[in-house]
Chain A
Amino acid sequence: MKLACALLPLLLLAVPATKAEAQLVYVIGQRDLAFGGVIRNIPKHILPGDPVRSGQFEFRATLNNTVRITFTLPTRLNGPAGATMPIAFSTTDGNLKGQGPTSSLIVFNPNAANTWNLVSSNTFNVWIGGTVSPAAAQAFGSYSNTISMTVTVQ
């Protein structure tokens, strides 16, 4: 009887940890959202389908789970000597596609939380586009900021 009581906590410790690790394996940023050269007073939009310039993430989770994807999106890129440049994301600037053969492309709004059930793939690519709007007197130079994507298994 004493032996059975002692084992119970050890089982509780082992089982949930193993399940959680299997549900969500990884999330990685694979490619920066690169606007390249932009001209003063001329907005530049990069489509999420751009094979070179769109931002790209990859995540893997266990099939038949529900995942929730949220982004932390900047409203400004930071440039030289404190200069900033507006950046915005439209309701169709997110693309998602599983790597499974039957997966199809999904267009989504990266400004909102999105929830999907994983039924055909366990590994997904997520692409993000956006628009920068340099001002008429925008300071020349390089600008950047961070885009974060969080995947939660529900």
Chain B
Amino acid sequence: MRKMKAVSAVVLGLCLGTSALSAQITGTITATATVLSTITVASGASLAFGNVTPGVAKVVLATGAGAGRFDVNAANSTPVNLTFTLPVNLTSGANTLPIGTWTGLWNTLNSQSGGTAFTPSASATAATTAAAGATSLWVFVGATVTPGGAQAAGAYTGNVTMGVVYQ
């Protein structure tokens, strides 16, 4: 009889131990972050339409001569988002010249061939910087100006603004 009590006590102890372990479980995840260099954007070239004729639209493609260019310094091999603030008119004093039909191209080389075409807009466009080099992204933009038949003569200008952020 004494032997039976001892066996019961041992078994009960095992039961309590199993119960306590089963009622608590831990899961893990990892918090991650990557410290990157500050992004800088330089104006590489102005979007230049040259002379335009009243009543005749003029197109400058992102892949063509006269395209505007932004030079981006950012961490290498890193995804970024590009956003644009685009004018709807160029201005010359009180006169305006409509501009639209924007085209874009980003490249990890300073070249208008072999890049990735996109449509510049306020919405984010994903791009990835070059694997090496301080300047790691080149962005080219083109557009179309549409002078009216009675467009006033003069020099018209407007600002094209590009924002770049890490994804």
Q: Which residues of B contact A (CB under 8 A)?
A: 4, 7-8, 11-12, 14-16, 18-39, 75, 78, 166-167
Contact = CB atoms under 8 A, between A and B. Distances in A.
Contacts of A44: 33
Contacts of A32: 29-32
A95 interface: no
A13 B27 contact: no
B33 A85 contact: yes
Interface in A139-154: 139-154
A28 interface: yes
A148 B28 contact: yes
A12 B24 contact: no
B35 A24 contact: no
Contact of A17 (B7, B22, B25, B32): B22
> Which bucket holds chain A's interface residue count?
35 or more
Nearest to A74: B31
Q: Report whether over half of chain A's contact residues are helix, strand or loop; otherwise say mixed.
A: strand
A79 B34 CA distance: 9
Contacts of A19: 19
Given A9-B8, A77-B32, A143-B32, 4 more contacts: A13-B14, A24-B22, A38-B33, A38-B35
Given A20-B22, A153-B23, A9 B12 contact: yes
B10 to A, nearest CB: 8
A105 interface: no
Contact of B27 (A20, A36, A139, A148): A148
